[in-house]
Amino acid sequence: MKKIAVIGTGYVGLVSGAGLSDFGNQVICADIDKSKINSLLAGKIPIFEPGLKEVVDRNVKSNRLSFTTNVSKAIQDSEVIFIGVGTPESETGEADLSAVYSVAEMIAENLNFYKVICTKSTVPIGTGDKIISIIKNSQNSDVGFDYVSNPEFLREGAAVQDFLIPNRIVLGATSEKALNILQDVYRPLYINETPIVHTNVPTAEMIKYASNAFLALKISYINEIANLCEVVGADVHIVTKAMGNDGRISPKFLHPGPGFGGSCFPKDTKALLSLSEKLNEPMNTVAAAIETNDRQKRRMADKLFNLMENEIKGKIIAVLGLSFKQMTDDVRESASIEMIQSILDKGGIVKAYDPVAAKNMEKQFPNIEYCVDWQTAVKNANAVAIMTEWHEFRGLDLAELKSLLKSPLVLDTRNILSRVGLTELGFKFDNVGRKALK
């Protein structure tokens, strides 16, 4: 197996490094952020991702996985370099590639023998050519290298499983030699006949963006269908079930809610749209998905205010769920941000609870009250908004919920509570795409 350096210990870098070491490779994860590396050296995982600590601990114990702040030495000692740094959205909507290009320059400075440079970070189409150019123009010797685009398809909350048991591997390689090396890196998957797509670099880069944009489109589409269901009296759950039975559609990502968030869909759709505008090839469907998603988040706040008859000032609203979805502590682009800000803008008081994401949301809203459990959050509240589909919210004792609330008002943006139970207990409630029972 191969000696590998993974540059960047954020979400993509750490999951990838742990997974690659679990395949039997010798992996060193490098980062200039000393606090991250010190945390990892102490056995602490800086992100919440189910199963990740177990994989990290197992491979550290087996001496296949290590961590360092000496990025230069990690590059020098490795045969394959994975770039796994962040590519956040810039003010223009494009991906900020400064960290990627900085890593490319470091690779050039430390290119001491032939290596394969592999990008895991989500980067716009054309980035691979730019990375190759940076390395060629900045290297101090004539040492050869090859480049591979190897996009990740990790779902937050299920990333470990997605890496270890993927539904496909995409390898956009510049040479047969590099392709063979990457196949060796992924040898356990190759032996298990995991579909491996061999293509060129631009195609590999496009596959990543096309996949995420399509899933975002499905979410925005079903949210608009849900909104229309409310008007005409249809039940979106039955609609989506029937739609999902069609093999051409599938039931995945047909779950109406408060809008998509996280580190991928919002950023990637905007980056793809920005690229299309630059190339004068309009992507009207992607633009509409972005607009629909923004509107859906605002619509959830309007639903809450309608439930409360717009009497918000001085009222306490419990917000249950802060992460953009369950099984993650990621609050980036979470629908809860729009909800909390809208409540505060109208003079409302927010009490919030999330099993794991409170610390991250506190960075954005330091002055609201964060509670240790849902019962504390809803006690004496005038209304409650359920924003994330955590399992503990699915199993809420509705009688206990009513006894704790000052007013029995519930907005269920994830459609996880029983309408029958809410109705029988006399709640005034709303959800997404389903009429309240009479």
Of 10, 27, 28, 171, the C-alpha closest to 99 is 10
Residues 59 and 183 in one domain: yes
**Dist CA 411 CA 419 (whole Å):** 11
Bridge pairing between strands 428-430 and 409-412:
parallel
Q: Out of 29, 229, 264, 371, which one is annotated catalytic?
A: 264
> Which pLDDT tens digit goes with each residue over 314-350?
999 999 999 999 999 999 999 999 999 999 999 999 9
E strand or H helix that includes residue 294: helix 284-307
95 shares a domain with 237? no
211 shares its domain with 126: no
Task: Give the residue from 199, 225, 260 where a domain finishes.
Answer: 199
Tally Cβ neighbours within 10 Å of residue 349. 17
Q: Read off the pLDDT of residues 195-248 as tens digits, 9 standing for 90 and up.
A: 999 999 999 999 999 999 999 999 999 999 999 999 999 999 999 999 999 999
pLDDT digits (tens, 9 = 90+) for 2-33: 999 999 999 999 999 999 999 999 999 999 99
Examine the domain organization and report whether 46 and 148 are in the same domain: yes
Examine the domain organization and report whether 120 and 215 are in the same domain: no
Catalytic annotation present for 264: yes
Of 151, 173, 199, which residue constitutes the final position of a domain? 199
Q: Assess whether 228 and 153 both reside in one domain.
A: no
CA dist 421 to 84, 338, 393, 397, Å?
47, 28, 14, 10
pLDDT digits (tens, 9 = 90+) for 98-132: 999 999 999 999 999 999 999 999 999 999 999 99
Give the confidence band of 438 by pLDDT, cuts at 50, 70, 90: low
The total number of structural domains that make up the chain = 2
Indicate whether 139 and 283 sit together in one domain: no
Q: Are residues 52 and 75 in the same domain?
A: yes
Q: What is the CATH number of the domain that holds 289?
A: 3.40.50.720
390 and 257 belong to one structural domain: yes
- Angle formed by the axes of helices 284-307 and 201-232, nearest 10°: 40
Name the average pLDDT for the chain. Answer: 96
Indicate if 261 and 130 belong to the same structural domain: no
Residue 434 and residue 418: Cα distance in Å, rounded? 12
Residue 179's domain comprises 3-199
DSSP β-bridge partners for residue 4: 27, 80
pLDDT, position 436? 66
Joined tokens for residue 108: 């050039």
Q: Which of 168, 199, 230 is the last residue of a domain?
A: 199
Predicted TM-score of the model (pTM): 0.93
Q: Are residues 192 and 205 in the same domain?
A: no
Q: Report the candidate in 131, 133, 136 with the shortest Cα–Cα distance to residue 119.
A: 131
The pLDDT-based confidence of 50 (bands split at 50, 70, 90) is: very high
| pLDDT, tens digit, 9 for 90 and up, residues 150-190 | 999 999 999 999 999 999 999 999 999 999 999 999 999 98
